[in-house]
Amino acid sequence: MSSAPEGRFRSSPVPLLTPLGPSGATDGSSRASLLTDDGVRIEALYEPRAVEGRAVAGSSFDGTAGDGVMDGHESVVGGHGVAAEGGCVTDGDVTDGGVGVPNGYGYGTDGVADGTAIVIAHGFTGSLDRPAVRRAARVLGRHAAVVTFSFRGHGGSGGRSTVGDREVLDLASAVRWARTLGHRRVVTVGFSMGGSVALRHGALYAAGREAGGTEVPAEVLADPEARADAVVAVSAPARWYYRGTAPMRRLHWLVTRPTGRLVGRYGFGTRIDRDDWDPVPLSPVEAAGLIAPVPLLIVHGDQDPYFPLDHPRMLAGAAGDGAELWLEPGMGHAENAADESLLTRIGDWTTAACSMMVS
């Protein structure tokens, strides 16, 4: 579904942020429209870490995604307006290194953002407003600030879904945005399709890597602003084109057939690109072997109806000692099956992984 070679994407240090205007929220949350490196506008929501006496915005979020691209002028759910140059600026804000950060919501007394942000990448047909994504944001928001966004072709984002190919650019834009808000460490947590995107993103945007060599493919990008400091993949496939289960056969019909794409658009609110992948992107299992030394957590349910247990085991085997594998008894698929207990443990893992990093 991509006409550009894998990894040959234009890179910029900061995504374009379109100011949407404050909505009067008092929890420090911000909604923005991010511009990806291939020119697609992506809706995103930032929520500071929940602190005592203040619930994370996701716990009571009642906004609804619009149809089409956010135009940058409508009033939407969120806290602070987003500055055109990437800062989050309101009255009383202070800056850190030229980046505006809001005072009082999950920030230190000097106005510098908490060290860690978690970027959540939803599954196919999801969006940042879906209840399961909001639940994940609420629970993970107890551990760190949270950025949620809708992949291209989903929710209020523009473009069309490429089912995991160019979505890596959407995730990169969300990670960059978290860094412009002052977060020194960014963890990506992806579910299903979002998990495969998180794996590819972790490999392609590895900090300090150079293209070439026998172990690193030539398409690897070295963009420190878009890198992930830790990666969590939940219910992710190991390989493309898997049709071994009935749900995956239905999904392939949805993606590859004109009637299926109509069902995707009007039944699931997902606009799907009609072109085949060209070239085929780096597979999740290939990507898993390129993420180390970045910490990697692979989570999979033993009752997943989409991908059986050979998928997470292949991913863990490819990653070697650099990965941790959790096989969850009784768990189904992706964010809809991730209960509060599991999300809490994932949050604990991100905290532990980040505590081992050198600031």
**What's the pLDDT at 86?**
31
pLDDT of residue 143: 96
CA separation for the pair 72, 51 (Å, rounded): 30
318-357 pLDDT per residue, tens: 999 989 999 999 999 999 999 999 999 999 999 999 888 7
Q: What is the pTM of this model?
A: 0.78
Instruction: DSSP letter for 340, please.
Output: H
Q: Which tens digit of pLDDT belongs to each residue from 123-174?
A: 999 999 999 999 999 999 999 999 999 999 999 999 999 999 999 999 999 9
> Which pLDDT belongs to residue 355?
82
Q: Are 119 and 42 in contact (CB under 8 A)?
A: no
pLDDT value, residue 189: 99
DSSP H or E run through 35: strand 30-35
Kindly give the residue spans of alpha helices, DSSP state H, lying in the chain.
131-140, 167-180, 193-204, 246-256, 258-268, 284-288, 310-319, 334-337, 340-355
State in Å, rounded, how far the first CA of the chain is from the last one: 38
pLDDT of residue 359: 45
Q: Which is it for the CA torsion 14, 56, 349, 131, positive or negative?
A: negative
Q: Is the peptide bond before 329 cis (omega within 30 degrees of 0)?
A: no
Regions in the chain scoring below 70 on pLDDT: 1-27, 52-114, 207-222, 358-359
Q: Which helix (H) or strand (E) segment is 232 a member of?
A: strand 230-234
Q: Round to whole Å and give the CA distance between 317 and 311.
A: 10
DSSP tag of 19: -
Amino acid 79: pLDDT: 26
- Distance, in Å, from the CA atom of 256 to the CA atom of 273, rounded to the nearest integer, reads 9
Cα atoms in the Cβ-side hemisphere of radius 13 Å centred on 340 = 7
Q: What is the pLDDT of residue 304?
A: 98
CATH class of 16-355: alpha beta
Q: What is the pLDDT of residue 238?
A: 98
Rounded Cα gap, residues 55 and 47, in angstroms: 10
